[in-house]
Chain A
Amino acid sequence: MPSDPRFLRIVRATVDGLVGSYGLSSEECVGVTLAIDEALANVIRHAYKNRYDQTIEFECLVNDRQMEFTLLDQGEPPDPARICAGPMDDVALGGRGTHLIRAVMDEVTYNQVPGGNQLKLVKRLHVSKALAVEE
């Protein structure tokens, strides 16, 4: 996808539909969609410094146990202090995106790979519901 905020709405609609079809609750659907949106926004804002003409590779793999979302960008590497997400300040204006991602997703992993900056976000599925979807 282009690193343009106008495309976030399209990704949100896609993720919401996908997550909903795997038996997650409506609250979990909102949470996962929010987490993906925040991660993409972080790439646009921090890695690409609000340059809207760059590219973000976005991939989703689903099996019967989990959904794995992978973001890859070629921007600036993230600040370790930001992605570690210290305690949330209740009145601070910024810095909530990373907290939201960690509050919602079961695994958040950052790696620098040959293709750029890679962020993996994992949401585990409820096994019984995942199997029900398969059946």
Chain B
Amino acid sequence: MERQLKFSARSELAAVIVDVVGQIDMGTSPALRKALLESLSGTERIAINLTEVTYIDSSGIASLLEVLQQAKRSKKRVILFGLNPSVLYVLQLTRLTGVFEIHETELQALEA
């Protein structure tokens, strides 16, 4: 069965941008969590591009939250950008829109 999630990292303006494509659920979130924590370890600021993420469940939310908590412990920043309405709705349901730093575009995320 085809893998549901792809991700890759690139460096821009003193930040690491992780581009995520696909659906984040209990089957795919462990690999994403690992990749995000690895990317975070090599930068002061990580921007997670969710433009191509069409679905996220509570395990995906927990992975993002774990990365955020790790960043805060290390005095680093985690920025989310490009959330489509369904992903934003799940963050709203979990009452986490105020916990994450969220921007609409990559440019806004990098300039923040």
Contacts and interface: CB of A to CB of B under 8 A. Distances in A.
Contact of A9 (B23, B65, B69, B96): B23
B94 A8 contact: no
Interface string B1-44: 10010000000000000000001011110000000000000000
Contacts of A44: 26
B96 A6 contact: no
Interface string A97-134: 10110011000000000000000000000000000000
A58 to B, nearest CB: 16
A11 to B, nearest CB: 10
A6 B27 CA distance: 6
Which of B26, B86, B95 has the most A CB atoms < 10 Å from its CB? B26
B62 A30 contact: no
Nearest to B90: A34
Contacts of B93: 31, 34, 100, 103-104
Contact of B57 (A27, A97, A103): A97
B78 to A, nearest CB: 14
Contacts of B1: 6
A41 B94 contact: no
Interface in A85-102: 88, 90-91, 93-94, 96-97, 99-100
A38 interface: yes
Given A8-B27, A99-B94, A103-B93, A41 B69 contact: no
Contacts of A41: 25-26, 57-59
Given A6-B27, A8-B25, A103-B93, 17 more contacts: A6-B4, A12-B23, A34-B57, A41-B25, A41-B26, A44-B26, A45-B26, A88-B94, A90-B96, A91-B65, A93-B62, A93-B65, A96-B62, A97-B57, A99-B94, A100-B93, A104-B93
27 contacts: A5-B27, A6-B4, A6-B27, A8-B26, A9-B4, A12-B23, A27-B85, A27-B89, A30-B86, A34-B90, A37-B25, A37-B57, A38-B57, A38-B58, A41-B25, A41-B58, A90-B95, A90-B99, A91-B65, A91-B69, A94-B62, A96-B58, A96-B62, A97-B57, A97-B58, A100-B93, A104-B93
Interface of B: 1, 4, 23, 25-28, 55, 57-59, 61-62, 65-66, 69, 85-86, 89-90, 93-96, 99
